Amino acid sequence: MIPLGDHNWRRRVPVVTIALVVLNVAVFVYQSLLPPTSRDLFVLQSAIIPRMLLTYPGLRTAVTLVTSMFLHDGLLHLGGNMLYLGIFGDNVEETLGSWGFALVYLAGGVGAGLAHVITNPMSTTPTIGASGAIAAVLGVYLAMFPKNRVRTLLVLGWFIRLVDLPAFVVLGGWFVLQIVNALGSLGLQQAGGVAWFAHLGGFAFGLVVGGLLRGKRPAHLVQRRWYP
């Protein structure tokens, strides 16, 4: 299932969501234009390295919990993250306000990074990407707008179709996939280079925040019932 958009009637321009997409793309362009040696050094200095963070605690290593959110390993990694942020970020931003959304995004990303460090304390693999922060946004969205329709590209072998699905199916399916992959990565240093427990940590954080603030949902964004 690949989400392509959701059905909503937001009334404000999602300034922070747009700014985050632009910033992530700008950092990726900068990163890509660096000479190979400088690029590798830039990633190493900005990425989360669990063993380094635990062995040498301090501001220099702690700041990587934030800087790592704005680096990506290739166009597919960047494009997938920005697609999810663009689709689900606007409703969350309109609900929480620009400053509240920015705070949840950053806090969710830091929490996701810590979840990765705790579950992979001996890993020396650099970890980058906005996935943990975006997972927090997805968690908030699911808690607040479970019945909202999401335009989805459904691919089942040769069967390919555009369908409208409720958010709880799309995001619930995403969450189950993260659990399966996280359990499958247990005992490995970092399966496939993906920080699955960071995704779970960020999503759980978002669910809690969304559940606590569910009463603040703007009525014009809430679909009371789902229909195809």
Tell me, yes or no, whether 149 lies in a domain. yes
Write down the pLDDT at residue 207.
94
Distance CA 102, CA 152 (A): 26
CATH code for the domain of 47: 1.20.1540.10
Write down the pLDDT at residue 193.
57
Write down the pLDDT at residue 192.
46
Tell me, yes or no, whether 226 lies in a domain. no
Write down the pLDDT at residue 181.
82
Return the half-sphere exposure (C-beta side, CA atoms, 13 A cut-off) of residue 139: 31
Tell me, yes or no, whether 104 lies in a domain. yes
Write down the pLDDT at residue 191.
45
Write down the pLDDT at residue 8.
76
The enclosing H or E element of 174 equals: helix 167-184
Tell me, yes or no, whether 228 lies in a domain. no
Residue ranges making up the domain that contains 205:
2-221
Tell me, yes or no, whether 204 lies in a domain. yes
How do residues 50-79 score in pLDDT, each as one tens digit? Answer: 998 998 888 888 999 999 999 998 899 999
Tell me, yes or no, whether 163 lies in a domain. yes
Contact yes or no for 216/4 (Cβ under 8 A) = no
Per-residue pLDDT of the chain (228 residues; tens, 9 = 90+): 888 988 877 888 899 999 999 999 999 999 999 999 999 999 999 999 999 899 888 888 899 999 999 999 889 999 999 999 999 999 999 999 999 999 999 999 999 999 999 988 888 889 999 999 999 999 999 999 999 999 999 887 778 889 899 999 999 999 998 888 888 777 655 444 578 888 999 999 999 999 999 888 888 888 766 665
Write down the pLDDT at residue 228.
55
Q: Which residues contact 197 (CB under 8 A, 6 or more apart)?
A: 115, 116, 118, 119, 120, 182, 185
Contact yes or no for 104/88 (Cβ under 8 A) = no
Number of domains in the chain: 1
